[in-house]
Amino acid sequence: MPDANQDCLFCKILAGDIPADIIFESDTAIAFRDINAQAPTHVVIIPRKHIATINDIGEADQVIVGSLYLAASAIARDEGIAEVGYRVVMNCNAAAGQTVFHIHLHLLGGRALGWPPG
Ligand code: 5GP
Ligand code: ZN
């Protein structure tokens, strides 16, 4: 697979080497349920292209990154949380809690979400 990083957990999920509950697939992105869900709906949305952090997003990646948000709204509709509300968040690097270095949107919903996050 082009762009794949051999040491990357999410590239392994993309390759089918690690199982995941995949609920959305497009040309540019896939989404699966988080293994350690923090809300009734907690979905991880990732680009097919390996991009380590927000800091590594290039000009040429704008359509790919935009597609993550289109995936989020489609999944939120499917999950029945679009109207009541949900949160989409992407952590960048250690201080923000990023643990998997392949960019991903967290889609969280199905309960009231406090602000600001911790
Ligand atoms: P981060 O902390 O990098 O923002 O988010 C990584 C997310 O990936 C975490 O919420 C974590 O629970 C989730 N995660 C880590 N390993 C796996 C896995 O093997 N399968 C799934 N489905 N989610 C995972
Ligand atoms: Zn990767």
- The residue with greater pLDDT, 3 or 87, is 87
- Protein residues with C-beta less than 5 angstroms from the ion ligand 2: 5, 8, 10-11, 50, 102
Q: Which residues line ligand 1 (CB under 6 A)?
A: 9, 18, 20, 32-36, 44, 91, 97-100
From atom 8 of ligand 1, which residue's Cα is the shortest distance away? 34
Please tell me whether the overall predicted TM-score, pTM, comes out greater than 0.95 for this model.
Answer: yes
Strand 86-89 and strand 22-25: the pairing is: unpaired
The answer on pLDDT for 52 being more than 70 is: yes
pLDDT tens figures, 56-92: 999 999 999 999 999 999 999 999 999 999 999 999 9
The domain 9-109 is classified under which CATH number: 3.30.43.10, 3.40.50.300, 3.40.50.1820, 3.30.428.10?
A: 3.30.428.10
Q: Which ligand neighbours the alpha carbon of 10 most closely?
A: 2
Scored b (16 or more CB within 10 A) or e, 37-74 reads eebebbbbbbbbbbbbeeeebeeebeebbebbeebbee
- With a cut of 70, say whether residue 1 has pLDDT above it: no
- CA-nearest of 108, 112, 92 to 31 is 108
Domains of the chain: which residue ranges? 9-109
DSSP string, 36-96: T-SSSEEEEEEESS---SGGG--GGGHHHHHHHHHHHHHHHHHHT-TTT-EEEE---SGGG
Q: Which residues are catalytic?
A: 104
Is 4's pLDDT higher than 90? no
